């Protein structure tokens, strides 16, 4: 088995979310995990499928004021994520894969331990959070990088949250959308190309597969554009 490593693409928020969802829905090889790292065409924020739009708008006003933003509701859960200075990736695990069959906390732990290993190769003192202190405040979806949840990646020295993620499971498998917040690394210099290489290698080892660079899949252009349009509508963004 292999881990398909797709080429990096830069898109708007709605298109990035649409592509991620379709990578879960449309498989050319049904047993093959997929990984992609991608960028953002504008200053973007995404927020969890179940979050209330009133809460999101209140938080955005405090974080970004009146600045123009590219905003989209994700197909996954989790909190409000600021993508203006992050490193974003998606991992898709097909139905029936051993990792897909494990509880959500365990898949979260496995993927974030691979990410922490890749950061330590860059001399970043990264670990996964093992215990959540109730004194830190209420748990649950809020603003992603304000609080670390169990198995998030944190800086061992400063305690700052470095990486978080959100998941969606359906009959096709597991969609895992992750974000690494660059400012949490402090002044450390990162070779991001090497980090991606190391992260993919760690993921492949955890999944017991071989990473293989793979051309972009032949997704249906009309389906991509149609879902992108849906994710751009006020009805989707203000769904709750």
| Angstrom distances, CA of residue 92 to CA of 24, 166, 178 | 6, 12, 11
Number of domains making up the chain: 1
Mean pLDDT across the stretch 2-13?
97
Q: How far apart are CA 140 and CA 10, in angstroms?
A: 30
Whole-prediction pTM value?
A: 0.93
Mean pLDDT across the stretch 207-232?
95
Mean pLDDT across the stretch 130-141?
62
Encode burial over 18-52: b for 16+ CB neighbours within 10 A, e otherwise. Answer: bbbbbbbbebeeeebbbbbbbebeebbbbbbeebe
Q: CA triplet 99, 138, 47: central angle to 5 degrees?
A: 60
User: Residue 11: what are its φ and ψ, rounded to 5°?
Assistant: -145, 175
Q: What is the DSSP string of 186-208?
A: TT----HHHHHHHHHHHHHHHHT
pLDDT given at position 141? 60
Encode burial over 135-163: b for 16+ CB neighbours within 10 A, e otherwise. Answer: eeeeeebbbbbebbbebbbbbeeeebbbb
pLDDT band for position 172 (cuts 50, 70, 90): very high
pLDDT given at position 66? 86
pLDDT in tens, 38-63: 999 999 999 999 999 999 999 999 99
Mean pLDDT across the stretch 114-138?
85
Are residues 131 and 227 in contact, defined by beta-carbon separation less than 8 angstroms? no
Helix (H, G, I), strand (E, B) or coil at 232: helix
pLDDT in tens, 92-112: 999 988 889 888 899 999 999
Higher pLDDT, 31 or 181: 181
Mean pLDDT across the stretch 191-204?
97
CATH of the domain at 145: 3.30.930.10
Mean pLDDT across the stretch 75-103?
93
**Residue 117 domain boundaries:** 2-237
Kindly report the average pLDDT of the chain as a whole number.
92
Whether the per-residue pLDDT at 222 is higher than 90: the answer is yes
């Amino acid at each position: 088995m292999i881990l398909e490593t797709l080429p990096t693409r830069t898109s708007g928020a709605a298109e990035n979310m649409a592509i991620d969802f379709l990578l879960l829905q449309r498989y050319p090889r049904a047993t093959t995990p997929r990984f992609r790292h991608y960028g953002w065409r504008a200053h973007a924020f995404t927020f969890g499928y179940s979050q209330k739009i009133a809460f999101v708008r209140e938080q955005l006003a405090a974080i970004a004021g009146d600045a123009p933003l590219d905003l989209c509701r994700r197909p996954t859960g989790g909190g409000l994520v600021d993508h203006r200075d992050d490193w974003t990736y998606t991992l898709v695990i097909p139905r029936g894969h051993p990792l897909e069959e494990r509880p959500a906390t365990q898949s979260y732990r496995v993927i974030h331990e691979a990410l922490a290993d890749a950061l330590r190769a860059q001399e970043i003192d990264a670990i996964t959070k093992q215990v959540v202190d109730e004194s830190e405040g209420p748990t649950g979806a809020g603003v992603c990088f304000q609080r670390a949840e169990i198995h998030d990646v944190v800086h061992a020295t400063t305690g700052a949250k470095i990486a978080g993620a959100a998941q969606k499971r359906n009959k096709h498998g597991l969609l895992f959308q992750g974000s690494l917040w660059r400012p949490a690394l402090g002044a450390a210099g990162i070779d991001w190309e090497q980090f991606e290489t190391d992260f993919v290698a760690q993921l492949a080892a955890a999944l017991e597969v071989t990473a293989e660079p793979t051309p972009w899949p032949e997704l249906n252009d009309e389906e991509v554009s149609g879902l992108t349009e849906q994710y751009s509508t006020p009805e989707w963004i203000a769904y709750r």
